[in-house]
Structure 1
Amino acid sequence: MSTDICYCTATELTGLLRQRRLSAREVVEAHLDRIERTNPAVNAVVTLVAERALEEAHAADERLAAGVDVGPLHGLPIAHKDTHATADVRTTFGSPLYADNIADQDELVVERLRTAGAITIGKTNVPEFAAGSHTFNSLFGTTANPYDPSKSAGGSSGGAAAALACGMHPVADGSDMGGSLRNPASFCNVVGFRPSPGRVPSWPTQAAWTTMGVQGPMARTVEDAALTLSVLAGPDNRSPIALEEPGARFADSLDRDLTGLRVAFSTDLGGTVPVDPAVSTALEPAAKHLAELGCTVERACPDFSGAEEVFRTLRAWEFDLGLGSLRDHHGDRLKASLVDNIDTGRLLRGTDIARAEQLHTELFHRMRVFFQQYDILLLPVSQVAPFDLELEYPRSVAGVPCESYLDWMRSCYFVSATGCPALSVPAGFTPEGLPIGLQIVGPHRGDFTVLQVGHAFEQATKLTNRHPDLGA
């Protein structure tokens, strides 16, 4: 166990809190102090509610002392993603249009975290309306990578990932359409889990039946991510696609003998996407680690044909649905790439949506057949290592030009289009010391298996024990 409260795991902290070896107030104070000392270097937490958090911590300590049954996240501080509405706390979506917006209710993920005993300490930075995998906006500026502040922390949950890496809070919430839980986790040497659609129900939302965007947990360890998922997951009648399986399943032990597990491994998605050699090199030992754990590892990859069209079409449709009215009334105040996405959605015809859904179905069945032969698929999370902070997106990947801010994210959004659960777990570092994540993908609704494999890999590599040096 870490001697530093701020680098104790969430699992350790909840034990210490329940045993009353630490008070919630002590835990919150330690994390507020860490934010004060480290946040100026990375700009991860953009709204802080310290006084409220300390009041909530005091109340939490009183409940425990009175013998009240407290939740599984009792006393753990958390700063929510700034796209997640948080009652009575500024929620800006990274946009100056919402600079002074105070949410009047918690959205479902925040509601569940708080009901489980987590204490809100603030909000974490996001790109404007969570569009893109580099966290910057005109309201708060850019979030820097804790391992090299001249590099990107990824996005759209970039503030959450950077805050976790710096010890500002032990667990985090996030969301993921094209990689927003996975890319920043990879860039910041933490864990991000994209669960199966419906595993974590979303509310409120304008598109309750869609499956491309999901919400999920981030943490510094797989076990902590699973603990957080145990709170976030489970049925809710406000979501028509919510899975019925109780979230408590994910609080079970992740320990498992992996002997005989059939693993497919590809560093370039079967040659369909360019990947920076630094990423491929860092991921090569992953196959060896899993083989040593008893897995049968083969070079193989499913056919991702159609994933590009599926993702881009359905994403553009959702952007127009969700942000079209802002485009009409405040288009001159939205970033250009966001306007382009909305406009692309407006040009779609019924036949475009129909074709995307047909390809979506075909992709699902190819993945279903693939996972009859293999239990797990290993891929890169990101096609590049953390890139220059001043760029909106990488201009090329392995010599192949990027024509848009989405092009370098295919290794994540191809998986999004499949609907499969996917985990980003620390896998190595470049020679310059920049983190690289491994993407562990499982079959349809195979969330628990993915977490078990990630946990075993993490225990073998110990890479989650490495933290950035920010002089704190």
Structure 2
Amino acid sequence: MAGDVGLTHMSACDVVDLLNRGEVTPLDCLDALEARMAIVEGAVNALPILCFDRAYDQAHRLMQRPPGSRGRLAGLPVPIKDLTDVAGVRTTYGSTIFADHIPDKSDILVETIEAEGGVIYAKSNTPEFGAGGNTFNDVFGTTLNPWNTKLSAAGSSGGAAVALATGTAWVAQGSDLGGSLRNPASFCGVVGLRPSPGRVASDKAAKIDSLLSVKGPMGRCVEDTALLLDAMTGESPADPLSLPRTENFLAAARSGWRPARVAFSADLGITPVDPEVAAICRAAATRFSEMGTIVEEAHPDLSEAHDTFQVMRGMAFASSYAELLKRHRDQMKPEVVWNIEKGLSYSMADVIRAENNRAAMFHRMNAFFDTYDLLLCPATIVAAYPASERYVKECAGYTFSNYVEWLAIAYAITLTTSPAISLPCGFTSDGRPVGLQIVGRGRAEGHVLAAARALELILDLRPVTPIDPRSPD
């Protein structure tokens, strides 16, 4: 099946089954991806860094072991977000400061994926240092949405989402602080899961105990996303928050578990939402009733989310990039400069207030899950917007005060440490995908995945991707 583009239209789980049976090889998968990229990549700019030579070498090494003994991914190719180091592969973090950077060592996460038979063949595009909900940078340019190449793919895992949607990846690694797995999944009609902090071990930099930023999986369907999560999990002494591998998430997704009672909120009480997006998500949420689930309108009190997230995010950017700002201010986009300077301006009183408010939101959310099994809401407050606009400035008559405030429906969940998945749930009248966010109690990824798969089967949107890029002209 060498060079068979049809292979790229299969699910990751089906391809792994073929790999385990020896009916295709990792080389066949890489050939198929190269052929598919020749067709679609030029229109969307999802995977600007390629390392196929390294991938073929790795595939040959894997093939020295018999099929069925090559790890959970069995030789399946995986792209890595360009915020995550891969040894010997150009890694820019979306910044001209690091335009020629080639790390000597891979991130823990990459080592984990490779140990499970994942073959790294590309780096996916990201905004500078992952900042913002639109994937563009001065190194590689803008990643475009394949449903309409005039529109944004969101961010910061925009390249990963577009690769999935166009068939140049079966699964993809991303990361999420303010919705960076969930937002692009929603805009591109794929699945993105933000795991609980510690579920996926990764290298730590300035703040080793941060609960905000996590790495996680993306796929075209829930089962594929669970498959990659299984290949990403595990404990490492180099990550003090990392959790031991205790659950098979693909089995959990397929377990048949159903929630008894779920809550839906169109806005979590904290943000404007486009009325059409809200209506699509509400209609999808009500379909949980078809599996015998009680669906009610409710949400916990998350009213402190805006101030708390701004302080916590500012602290993270200041601790990570303040020294770079001193030396390379002219090479940083204005939004990153703003975030670093905001972080440097906060007082100890601001930090104490934010920490106390985050704890309060965490406890309220935990108590909320004593009544409801899941919380449902839109993954993003709008569908894809023009790629030429740096961020969403207004929604439903409300003007946002900064470049990340429009992401509140995602970052409020980040603050609670709950796992959350963005599941494709419908389309706007002009054909833009919309994602439903399904949120669970901390460390309950298995229930989130099981419920998402159950709803996915009801909505019957799995066969929609991959697609060829669509230009409105």
Aligned match of 2:39? 37
Aligned match of 1:58? 60
Cα shift at 1:277: 1.3
Q: Secondary structure, in 3 states, of the residue corresponding to 1:152?
A: coil
Aligned match of 2:51? 49
Aligned match of 2:386? 388
User: Structure 1 length as normaliser, TM-score?
Assistant: 0.96
C-alpha distance after superposition, 1:250-301 (max 9, x if no partner): 242423445561100011213x210011211221221232110111000111
Aligned match of 1:456? 454
Q: 1:260 to 1:187 in 2, by over 3 A?
A: closer
CA distance in 1, matches of 2:449, 2:278: 22
Aligned match of 2:261? 262
Aligned match of 1:102? 102
What are the residue-to-residue correspondences of 1:132-151 with 2, within 5 Å?
132-151=132-151
CA distance in 1, matches of 2:246, 2:257: 23
Aligned match of 1:212? 212
Aligned match of 1:400? 398
Cα shift at 1:148: 0.5
Alignment check: 8 A CA contact 2:256 2:450 kept: no
Cα shift at 1:233: 1.4
Q: 1:174 to 1:260 in 2, by over 3 A?
A: closer
CA distance in 2, matches of 1:320, 1:285: 41
Alignment check: 8 A CA contact 2:182 2:194 kept: yes
CA distance in 2, matches of 1:241, 1:163: 30
CA distance in 2, matches of 1:56, 1:232: 18
CA distance in 2, matches of 1:61, 1:336: 47
CA distance in 2, matches of 1:373, 1:248: 24
Cα shift at 1:443: 1.0
CA distance in 2, matches of 1:168, 1:3: 10
Cα shift at 1:64: 2.4
Cα shift at 1:247: 5.3
Structure 2 residue aligned with 1:292, among 290, 293, 297? 290
> Residue type of the partner of 1:397?
C
Q: Secondary structure, in 3 states, of the residue corresponding to 1:372?
A: coil
CA distance in 1, matches of 2:259, 2:246: 28
Alignment check: 8 A CA contact 1:258 1:295 kept: no
Cα shift at 1:314: 0.8
What are the residue-to-residue correspondences of 1:276-425 with 2, within 5 Å?
276-425=274-423
> Residue type of the partner of 2:392?
P
Q: Greater shift after overlay, 276-285 or 429-438?
A: 276-285
Q: Secondary structure, in 3 states, of the residue corresponding to 1:308?
A: helix
Alignment check: 8 A CA contact 1:176 1:213 kept: yes
> Residue type of the partner of 2:261?
R
Alignment check: 8 A CA contact 2:378 2:437 kept: yes
Alignment check: 8 A CA contact 2:252 2:449 kept: no
CA distance in 2, matches of 1:373, 1:416: 20
Alignment check: 8 A CA contact 1:226 1:451 kept: yes
Alignment check: 8 A CA contact 1:421 1:444 kept: yes
CA distance in 1, matches of 2:367, 2:72: 38
> Residue type of the partner of 1:268?
D
C-alpha distance after superposition, 1:153-173 (max 9, x if no partner): 010000000001111011111
Instruction: Indicate whether 1:177 and 2:177 are aligned.
Output: yes
User: Structure 2 length as normaliser, TM-score?
Assistant: 0.96
Aligned match of 2:17? 15
CA distance in 2, matches of 1:306, 1:51: 49
Cα shift at 1:388: 0.3
CA distance in 2, matches of 1:469, 1:210: 39
Q: Secondary structure, in 3 states, of the residue corresponding to 1:83?
A: coil
Cα shift at 1:215: 0.8
Q: Secondary structure, in 3 states, of the residue corresponding to 1:22?
A: coil
CA distance in 2, matches of 1:323, 1:260: 42
Q: 1:260 to 1:52 in 2, by over 3 A?
A: closer
Unaligned runs of 5+ in 1: none
Alignment check: 8 A CA contact 1:208 1:239 kept: yes
Alignment check: 8 A CA contact 2:263 2:372 kept: yes
Unaligned runs of 5+ in 2: none
Q: Secondary structure, in 3 states, of the residue corresponding to 2:248?
A: helix
Cα shift at 1:381: 0.5
CA distance in 1, matches of 2:151, 2:407: 17
Q: Secondary structure, in 3 states, of the residue corresponding to 1:215?
A: strand
C-alpha distance after superposition, 1:399-433 (max 9, x if no partner): 11122111211110111111111000111111111
Cα shift at 1:243: 1.9
C-alpha distance after superposition, 1:282-327 (max 9, x if no partner): 2122123211011100011111021212211011001000011110
Cα shift at 1:236: 1.3
CA distance in 1, matches of 2:428, 2:18: 36
> Residue type of the partner of 1:95?
S
CA distance in 2, matches of 1:391, 1:320: 26
Higher relative contact order structure (alpha carbons within 8 Å, sequence separation ≥ 6): 2
Q: Structure 1 vs Structure 2: percent identity of aligned residues?
A: 41
Q: 1:247 to 1:203 in 2, by over 3 A?
A: farther
Q: Secondary structure, in 3 states, of the residue corresponding to 2:79?
A: strand
